[in-house]
C-alpha cells in the first residue's frame, strides 16, 4: 500500500451529528501526523476548516477511507469505489459489524498499526447486475452483498425462472431469491437459511426465500457463473433490491443477469480480531 498522505472520512448519513465529536478528534489526530483529512460535503457545514468533496469523489482523492457508522454505511461506500484501489477501514459507532469490525475504542490504535504498515487487506469480490425489460437494458448496478428479488408482504408466491451460463436450472416457486457474494452470506442470505462462506473465497451463492418446494436448497456457484433470473408470474408487487439499499419494481418477464463484477473492494482487516471472532460475537456462538 502506498504512503498515506490523505484520508477520506465518511460518516453515517442519517445521523452524522453522532459522529462529529469522533471526526473532530480524528481530524486533529491525522493533522498531527501530517495526513490531510478530507470529508464529504454533508459534513462541511459542521467542519469548516477541512477540505470537503462530494462523497463519490472521495475514493479517488484518498489514500485510505475511514468509514464511521455501520455495515450499511460501508455498503453504500463500497458501491462508489469502482476502479479505485483505495483501502477502507470500517469503524462501527455502535456495537460490532461484519464489515465494520473495528470498534470506536479501537479506532486510533488501529490507525497507529496501519501507519506502521502492520495490517492486512481483504479483497472482496462484488457482483454486477444488469436489469432488462422487454429486451432493453433498464439499469445496471454493482453490489458488495447481494441482489434480491422478493415480493411485498401481501403478494402471492412468485415464479422465478433461473438459468446458469445459459443452462436451465429450475423455476423457483418462492417468496423470492437472493444472489450473494461470500461477503453477503452473513446478511439476508443467512436469515433465509443460506450457508456462511469465508469472505475471501470467490463464489456466488443462490438462496431461495421460503421456497414452496422444500428440496430447493441454497447453491454455491463458481465465481465465473452468469446467472439469469426471469419473473414468470404476473404479480406487480415484486421488487429487485441491491444491497438492501437501492431497488426498482420487477415486472413480469423482467430479467436480471448477475455475474462477478470487474471491481473489488479492499477492506482493512481489524488488527485486533479475526473473522471467526467476529462471527462468534455477532452470532452469539457459545452463549447459553
Q: Do 236 and 152 share a structural domain?
A: yes
The catalytically annotated residue of 42, 71, 146, 262 is 71
209 and 179 fall within a common domain? yes
Are residues 75 and 135 part of one domain? no
Q: What is the per-residue pLDDT for 29?
A: 96
Question: Among candidates 87, 119, 66, which has minimal Cα distance to 270?
Answer: 119
Q: Does residue 172 sit within a domain? A: yes
Question: Tens-of-pLDDT digits for all 288 residues of the chain?
Answer: 568 999 999 988 666 666 888 999 999 999 999 999 999 988 877 777 788 999 999 999 999 999 999 999 999 999 988 878 899 999 998 777 899 989 999 999 999 999 998 889 999 999 999 999 999 999 999 999 999 999 877 667 999 999 999 999 999 999 999 999 999 999 999 999 999 999 999 999 999 999 999 899 999 999 999 999 999 988 778 999 999 999 999 999 999 999 999 999 999 999 999 999 999 988 989 887
- 133 and 221 co-located in one domain: yes
Residues 250 and 134 both lie in one domain: yes
Q: How far is CA 141 from the centre of its chain?
A: 12
Active site residue 71: yes
Are 20 and 114 in the same domain? Answer: yes
Helix (H) or strand (E) holding 37: strand 36-40
Q: What is the pLDDT of residue 2?
A: 66
CB atoms within 10 A of CB 256: 25
Domain check: are 61 and 139 in the same one?
A: no
For residue 169, being part of any structural domain is answered with yes
Report the C-alpha gap between 249 and 241 in whole angstroms.
Answer: 9
Instruction: Tell me, yes or no, whether 243 and 136 share the same domain.
Output: yes
156 assigned to some structural domain: yes
Q: What is residue 1's predicted lDDT score, i.e. its pLDDT?
A: 54
What residues make up the domain containing 41? 6-120+269-283
Residue 22 domain flag? yes
Domain count, the chain: 2
Contact 175, 151 (CB under 8 A): yes
- The whole-model pTM stands at 0.93
Does residue 173 share a domain with residue 215? Answer: yes
- Residue 63's CATH number: 3.40.50.10330
Supply φ then ψ for residue 102, to 5 degrees. Answer: -95, 125
The gap from C-alpha 95 to its chain's centroid, in whole angstroms, comes to: 18
Same domain? 59 vs 36: yes
CATH number at residue 237: 2.60.200.30
pLDDT of residue 16: 60
| Residue 288 domain flag | no
- One domain for residues 57 and 156: no
Amino acid at each position: 500500500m502506498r504512503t498515506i498522505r490523505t484520508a477520506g472520512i465518511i460518516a453515517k448519513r442519517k445521523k452524522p451529528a453522532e459522529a462529529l465529536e469522533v471526526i473532530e478528534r480524528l481530524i486533529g489526530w491525522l493533522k498531527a501526523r501530517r495526513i490531510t483529512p478530507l470529508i464529504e460535503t454533508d459534513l462541511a457545514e459542521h467542519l469548516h476548516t477541512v477540505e470537503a468533496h462530494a462523497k463519490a469523489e472521495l475514493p479517488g482523492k484518498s489514500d485510505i477511507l475511514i468509514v464511521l457508522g455501520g455495515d450499511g454505511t460501508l455498503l453504500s461506500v463500497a458501491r462508489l469505489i469502482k476502479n479505485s484501489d483505495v483501502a477502507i477501514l470500517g469503524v462501527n459507532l455502535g456495537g460490532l459489524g461484519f464489515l465494520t469490525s473495528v470498534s470506536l475504542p479501537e479506532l486510533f490504535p488501529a490507525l497507529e498499526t496501519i501507519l506502521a504498515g502492520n495490517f492486512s487487506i481483504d479483497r472482496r469480490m462484488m457482483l454486477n447486475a444488469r436489469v432488462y425489460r422487454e429486451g432493453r437494458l433498464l439499469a445496471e448496478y454493482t453490489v458488495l452483498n447481494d441482489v434480491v428479488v422478493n415480493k411485498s408482504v401481501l403478494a402471492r408466491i412468485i415464479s422465478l425462472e433461473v438459468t446458469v451460463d445459459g443452462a436451465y436450472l429450475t423455476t423457483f416457486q418462492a417468496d423470492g431469491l437472493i444472489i450473494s457474494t461470500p461477503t453477503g452470506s452473513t446478511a439476508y442470505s443467512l436469515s433465509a437459511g443460506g450457508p456462511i462462506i469465508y469472505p475471501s473465497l470467490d463464489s456466488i451463492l443462490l438462496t431461495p426465500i421460503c421456497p414452496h418446494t422444500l428440496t430447493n436448497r441454497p447453491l454455491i456457484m463458481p465465481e465465473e457463473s452468469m446467472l439469469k433470473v426471469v419473473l414468470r408470474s404476473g404479480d406487480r408487487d415484486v421488487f429487485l433490491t441491491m444491497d438492501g439499499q437501492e431497488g426498482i419494481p420487477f415486472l413480469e418477464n423482467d430479467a436480471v443477469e448477475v455475474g462477478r463484477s470487474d471491481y473489488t473492494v479492499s477492506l482493512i482487516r481489524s488488527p485486533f480480531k479475526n473473522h471467526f471472532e467476529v462471527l462468534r460475537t455477532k452470532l452469539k456462538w457459545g452463549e447459553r
